[in-house]
Structures are given as structure tokens and as C-alpha cells.
Amino acid sequence: MLERGYHRSFAELFGLIQKEADSQRAAGPDSSLLSQRPLSEDAEKLTEMKNQLVEAESAMLLGNSL
């Protein structure tokens, strides 16, 4: 993503992963959040989110260049 110039998409995806990790840490040991598979370990979800973010950023960049 970064090599292709999608800095906003990368930052958004990184932020989502970080927010999820922070939420899990804050939730405590008995929370149901801990039983969920982390986003960082779900390649299929990460790929889909990356594709959607890149598509949105591309559209935004194209709109700004008109």
C-alpha cells in the first residue's frame, strides 16, 4: 500500500488494527472480545479491507485531480 502511494489507506488500516488491540487489552480477561479472532490474524478480512480502502482513496485522489 505504501509503495503504491496509498498512505491514508495504510494509516486507516493500521489504526483499526491498533484500536482493536487496545480494546482487547482494556476489556479484561473475561471479555468476549478475547474470544474473537484478531483482525491482524485474518488475512481474508485484511485483504478485503485493504482493497476497499485503496479503492476509496483512489476515487478520492482522482476526484481531487479533476
Residue identified by cell 494509516 is 11
**Residue 12 sits in which domain range?**
7-65
Identify whether 43 is part of a domain: yes
**pTM assigned to the model:** 0.81
Under DSSP, the state recorded for 35 is: G
The set of long-range contacts for 45-51, using a CB threshold of 8 Å and a minimum separation of 24, is: 46/13, 49/13, 49/16, 50/1, 50/9, 50/13
Other C-beta atoms closer than 10 Å to the C-beta of 63 total 8
Q: How many domains does the chain have?
A: 1
Residue 33: what pLDDT? 82
Residue 1 domain-assigned? no
- 27-64 pLDDT, tens digit each: 888 888 888 899 999 999 999 999 999 999 999 998 87
